Amino acid sequence: MTSQRGEDEYRYKKVEQEISKHIIAGDLVPGDKLPSLRQMSTNLKVSISTVSHAYEELEKRGLIESRPRSGYFVRSEFRKIPTPLVNTAQKLEPHTVTKNKLIQTALETVGNKNLLPLGVVCPSSELLPTKHLSKIMSAVIRENPDLSINYESISGNMQLRRQIAFRSVDCGSNLTAEDLIITTGAMEALYISLRTLTRPGDLVLIQSPTYYCFLQLVESLGLRAIEIPSCPKNGINTKEFSAAVKKFDLKACILSPNFNNPDGGLTPDHAKKEIVELLAEKNIPLVEDDVYGDIYFGDTRPRTFKSFDRKGGVLLCSSFSKTIAPGYRVGWLAPGRYLEKAMEIKATTNVSCASPTQMAIARYLREAHFDRHLKKLRSAMKEQMNKMRTEIALSFPKGTKVTDPKGGSVLWVELPAGTDGIDLFFKAREEGIGIIPGSVFSTRDAFSNYIRLSSGALWSDKIQKGLKRLGELATK
Amino acid sequence: MTSQRGEDEYRYKKVEQEISKHIIAGDLVPGDKLPSLRQMSTNLKVSISTVSHAYEELEKRGLIESRPRSGYFVRSEFRKIPTPLVNTAQKLEPHTVTKNKLIQTALETVGNKNLLPLGVVCPSSELLPTKHLSKIMSAVIRENPDLSINYESISGNMQLRRQIAFRSVDCGSNLTAEDLIITTGAMEALYISLRTLTRPGDLVLIQSPTYYCFLQLVESLGLRAIEIPSCPKNGINTKEFSAAVKKFDLKACILSPNFNNPDGGLTPDHAKKEIVELLAEKNIPLVEDDVYGDIYFGDTRPRTFKSFDRKGGVLLCSSFSKTIAPGYRVGWLAPGRYLEKAMEIKATTNVSCASPTQMAIARYLREAHFDRHLKKLRSAMKEQMNKMRTEIALSFPKGTKVTDPKGGSVLWVELPAGTDGIDLFFKAREEGIGIIPGSVFSTRDAFSNYIRLSSGALWSDKIQKGLKRLGELATK
């Protein structure tokens, strides 16, 4: 019975998703009549009752409306929502980062479990292999009591490093276990990279917008940053990048080529190659953040900068925080030719990472559960993002734009000019909704009318209502 | 049967220990006759066979010898071993730390599990609550699948912070959960403290000798260090300390008042108070390392600097790495008035610590297992240290001095002048024995004829033979 019901639910959700997609894509515009129940049932090879159930759900969500004796129509209030454009007119100049206070406030929101988690980028635990990992953790601890209680080596658990190296073939990197240092999340990998490469006062290049924790780190290390615009579609523009590299005395570049947080930009592989070669020529190291690389919605995993690196100048940072277990804090760094110095920084920061969590993730990978899980996770993230985009299209003020990323787990929302993202952040927080204001993603006075929404939370009525309310708050 | 045998073993070990102690203390000198079996049996209220067993063991270990028809005598080769003296004649001047390479080599030895662990300061896993903690870890993961897979807050698990705060009464600190940040071991607490307080080029004060990881951190942060001599008996000399504080423009002091690693010095509580008050007056922050505070051999726990802190100028660093689980990497920082800045550094270094390990330690503390375990651990550490001192007295070259610490888990050995500790370190490593050369414990050219031996490993024939061999290598 339950399995039959599960099957039905799966079928009508499929229909619902199919139709939403066409509306979002603009194939169906406001006022268009939907196929009749019978016709749709034939088209999609599902029962009439399944289609009827899907239509009802779409009506509840405000996407379509039924007109007496005429059938179902796309609601006229519904608009196709454009994606934000990249602003390339900005002047390139170094900035000292001073947004730490605002970022701290935003970060506290992320940690606040009483808020609707539209600010948290990690998938909610329903989408993570929670029970499976618990069992594995119990097993590794029981089977290796001594190993789990004792120190790991500075570079980290060898089994884990072997598994990461083995998987690096997917993104073209071909790492060995000896190339890797296990870190407390990707954040520590990035921190070690910047400590390895820079001294206070140095100039680094970042994408704009970029993840606010990077800005916070840059500020806390006393660095100055030059920002080059990132495009929600094609990520880093090689022309602008190359101009900046030639103009400034850069000590490092920090780039997220695969689904940049927050704008979701995906830098094409040919551009990656060009960037790596240019930097190799100029002898400028490149710190690569690839935490979202495994959450791609297309057919193949995008490559990394590291996969084009011939001279060891790319420091690849990643983690399992967005795919397996945020709280296990297991990340890694492949620091290329900076391995020795990076090990020194790791040793003097905290000696080594916790043993049990490394052992559990190593076993999870070794038992080959990861790929099956990733497949499900990717499909869930894609679906949730679509639903969120639809709700935003329905509820947000006219003039709102939202990204349509090819992977990752965030949407970058441009509100109509004049809307204050920080104001909206505080208003939303008061109503129990956690979001991140756009201006924390740049050192400049930019993105003040943007917000970032995470699609990591399992879709629910609560999320939908939260988005609707957010739309109302943004409209006022 | 087994329990009877355990009881017997306990009894004869007690006798053996009692006699070793008197020999070490010099109450019994070479050539002295030991009480007869019968007399000793009456004195100690144990059976004659127990005393006989103990005497046999002492004979095997080379401490006493039996002479036909005369009884047992302290062996004439056996000498009382003096403790090293502090050298106060050195000139105070700032040093840029440049020992990172040598320290790195020493650290690799610590991580090498094929070596006899006389270099590793953590208690071996037989002395840790390995099985108990495994069970607790399985339980917390099973009972809290969501919490364990998700991020902790930046400051760390609230249950754990409450437990640490609750226990801080023991050392007079009276902390609250809100005063604390959970860190990846005490090393990260120290790192956060120094990042919070200093900038490259700044001058800090350290003890000499001091833990080489502190020197490595000081070097890696580009700081300069002024060293004040530490005494194996009374730790920090307040007169010398006060002179240095008045003479130099210090940005921070880093001190280990309780069983300083490597010399085991214990700064008396009245001196702690004086130091804290002087620094408060001068507005100089004090970073306190208290990782050995719980391993005291006397009746009461020594107090912390923090317990005398009225102005929030003491940043207390500690961990459970030396008492519960080195590999869990659970430490903490009570940064006093620097809390906000310290949180910022924590967030930009690695956001937060692993959740499962924090949860397991919190449960372990909450269930009140810790004090019972600590009592056993302290007694084991004390006994092992005594055995090591005895073996050193027997096997090391004439002129060797060794500390007699009141707690902690390291012995600081001064070899006869002219002996090269680094040379001995490499020779020992070749024979599979891990030790730490004395010169890594100072920025100056000092302690070249010293080595540090850890008493953390469970006493065994292997350890004894290793020490004997080390003595031979040092004699050559």
CB contact at 8 A, B141 and B356: yes
B331 membership: H or E segment, kind and range? strand B331-334
Task: Say if residue A207 is exposed, middle or buried (CB neighbours under 10 Å; 0-12, 13-18, 19+).
Answer: buried
Tokens 């302690």 correspond to B447
DSSP state of A76: T
Spatial distance between the Cα atoms of B407 and B297, rounded to a whole number of angstroms: 5
Residue pair A432/A320 in contact (Cβ under 8 Å)? The answer is no
Read off the pLDDT of residues A35-89 as tens digits, 9 standing for 90 and up: 888 888 888 788 888 888 889 888 887 788 888 888 898 887 655 567 776 655 5
Confirm if A431 and A473 have CB atoms less than 8 A apart: yes
Is A290 exposed, middle or buried (CB count within 10 Å of its CB: 0-12, 13-18, 19+)? Answer: buried
Asked if B356 lies within 8 A of A328 by C-beta distance, the reply is yes
Q: What are the start and end residues of each CATH 1.10.10.10 domain in chain B?
A: 2-74
- pLDDT at residue B26, as a whole number: 64
The Cα–Cα gap between B370 and B152 comes to 23
Chain B residues 137-166 within an 8 A CB cutoff of chain A? 137-138, 141-142, 145-154
DSSP notation for A124-186? PGGGTTHHHHHHHHHHHHHH-HHHHHSPPPTT--HHHHHHHHHHGGGGT----GGG-EEESHH
Phi, psi of B288 (to 5 degrees): -110, 125
- Neighbouring CB atoms inside 10 A of A165's CB total 19
Three-state DSSP class for A123? coil
The alpha-carbon gap from B120 to the nearest alpha carbon of chain A, in Å, equals: 10
- The answer to whether A248 and A282 are in contact (CB under 8 A) is no
d(CA B96, CA B90): 17
Asked if the A2-74 domain carries CATH number 2.102.10.10, the reply is no
HSE toward the beta carbon, residue A147, CA cutoff 13 A: 17
Rounded to a whole number of angstroms, the distance from the CA of B256 to the nearest CA of chain A is 17
| B238 DSSP assignment | H
Specify the amino acid at residue A355.
Answer: S
Question: Considering only alpha carbons, which residue of chain A is nearest residue B345?
Answer: A220
List chain A residues with CB under 8 Å of B289. Answer: none
Backbone angles phi, psi at A143, to 5 degrees: -80, -20
> Residue A183 pairs with which residues in a beta bridge?
A331
φ and ψ at residue B308, rounded to 5 degrees? -105, 5
- In the prediction, which pLDDT does B253 show? 98
Count of alpha carbons within 13 Å of A249, Cβ hemisphere only? 4
Cis omega (within 30 of 0) for bond into A335: no
Partner-chain residue, chosen from B128, B191, B355, that has the shortest CB–CB distance to A349: B191
Q: Is A327–B111 a contact, with Cβ atoms under 8 angstroms apart? A: no
Confidence at residue A35, expressed as pLDDT on a 0 to 100 scale:
85
Rg of chain B, C-alpha, whole Å: 23
With CB atoms and an 8 Å threshold, state whether A353 touches B152. no
- Residue ranges, comma separated, of all CATH 3.40.640.10 domains in chain B are 129-370
CA–CA separation, B66 and B71 (whole Å)? 6
Tell me the C-alpha distance between A121 and A452, whole Å.
10
Mutation target to probe the A interface, by most A beta carbons within 10 A, among B103, B151, B192, B212 is: B151
- Tell whether A290 lies on the interface with B, counting CB pairs under 8 A: no
Q: What mean pLDDT do residues A265-287 have? A: 97
How deeply is A418 buried, as exposed, middle or buried, from its count of CB atoms within 10 A (0-12, 13-18, 19+)?
A: exposed
Let me know: does A193 contact A252? Beta carbons within 8 Å.
yes
DSSP assignments along B286-307, one per residue = EEEE-TTTT-BSSSSPPPPGGG
CA within 13 Å, CB half, A357: 33
What superfamily does domain A372-475 belong to in CATH? Aspartate Aminotransferase, domain 1 (3.90.1150.10)
Q: How far is B123 from chain A (nearest CA, A)?
A: 10
The amino acid that residue B12 corresponds to is: Y
Alpha-carbon distances, residue A84 vs A3, A137, A400, A402, B458 (angstroms)? 42, 43, 9, 6, 65
Residue A21 near residue A54 (C-beta atoms within 8 A)? no
- Reported as a pLDDT band with limits 50, 70 and 90, residue A274 is very high
Average pLDDT of the residues of chain A? 90
A330 contacts on B by Cβ (under 8 Å): 354
Q: Are A72 and A64 in contact (CB under 8 A)?
A: yes
Residues of chain A within CATH 3.90.1150.10 domain(s) are 372-475
CA angle A373, A376, A378 (to 5 degrees): 105
Per-residue pLDDT reduced to its tens digit, A91-138: 667 766 666 677 777 777 777 778 899 988 889 899 999 999 999 999
Which pair of structure tokens corresponds to residue A448? 């003040």
Judged by phi (left if over 0) then psi (alpha if -120 to 50, else beta), residue B67 lies in: beta
Q: How far apart are CA A106 and CA A426, in angstroms?
A: 10
The pair of three-digit structure tokens given for residue A201, joined into one six-digit string: 């006062």
Of A104, A329, A356, the CB nearest to B328: A356
**Per-residue pLDDT, B32:** 82
Residues of A in contact with B216 (CB under 8 A): 344, 347-348
Give the C-alpha separation, A152 to A183, whole Å. Answer: 12
Residues of A in contact with B141 (CB under 8 A): 134, 137-138
Q: Which of A211, A292, A350, A335 is nearest to B354 (CA)?
A: A350
DSSP B151: P
Q: pLDDT tens, A301-313?
A: 999 999 999 999 9
Looking at the domain that runs over B129-370, which CATH code has it been given? 3.40.640.10
Mutate to test the interface with B, among A348, A361, A363 (most CBs of B within 10 A): A348
Contact residues, chain A, for B347 at CB < 8 Å: 104, 107, 213, 216
Residue A1 predicted with pLDDT over 50: no
What values do phi and psi take at B45, rounded to 5? 55, 45
Q: Is the predicted pLDDT of residue A8 greater than 70, yes or no?
A: no
Name the A residues in 23-82 with CB < 8 Å from any B CB: none
Q: Is B96 helix (H, G, I), strand (E, B) or coil?
A: strand
Please state, in angstroms and rounded to a whole number, the distance separating the CA atoms of residues B324 and A195.
31
Alpha-carbon torsion (B408, B410, B413, B419), positive or negative:
negative
Report the alpha-carbon distance of residue A323 to residue A373 in Å, rounded: 9
Sign of CA dihedral B192, B198, B202, B205: negative
The pLDDT tens digits for A374-389 are: 999 999 999 999 899 9
Structure tokens at B134: 């495994």
Q: Which residues numbered 309-328 in A keep a CB inside 8 Å of some CB on B? A: 325-328
pLDDT of residue B46: 85
Q: Tell how far CA A185 is from the center of its chain.
A: 15
B contacts of A222 (beta carbons < 8 Å): 199
Specify burial of residue B126 (Cβ count, 10 A radius: 0-12, 13-18, 19+): exposed
Cis-peptide into B30, omega within 30 deg: no
Closest CA to A126 of B150, B355, B142, B140: B150
pLDDT at B2: 44
Query: What pLDDT, on the 0 to 100 scale, is given for residue B98?
Result: 62
User: What is the per-residue pLDDT across B358-399, written as a single tens digit (0 to 9) for each?
Assistant: 999 999 999 888 999 999 999 999 999 989 998 898 889 988
Low-confidence ranges of chain B (pLDDT < 50): 1-2
Which segments within A403-449 are labelled E, that is strand?
Answer: 410-414, 433-434, 436-437
Q: How close does chain B come to A323, measured CA to CA in Å?
A: 11
Encode pLDDT of A224-256 as tens digits.
999 999 999 999 999 999 999 999 999 999 999
| Chain B nearest C-alpha distance from A351 (Å) | 7
Angle of CA points A300, A302, A305, to nearest 5°: 155
Q: Do B354 and A191 touch (CB under 8 A)?
A: no
Phi, psi (degrees; rounded to nearest 5) at B319:
-165, 175
Residues 6+ apart with CB under 8 A from A395: A467, A468, A470, A471, A472
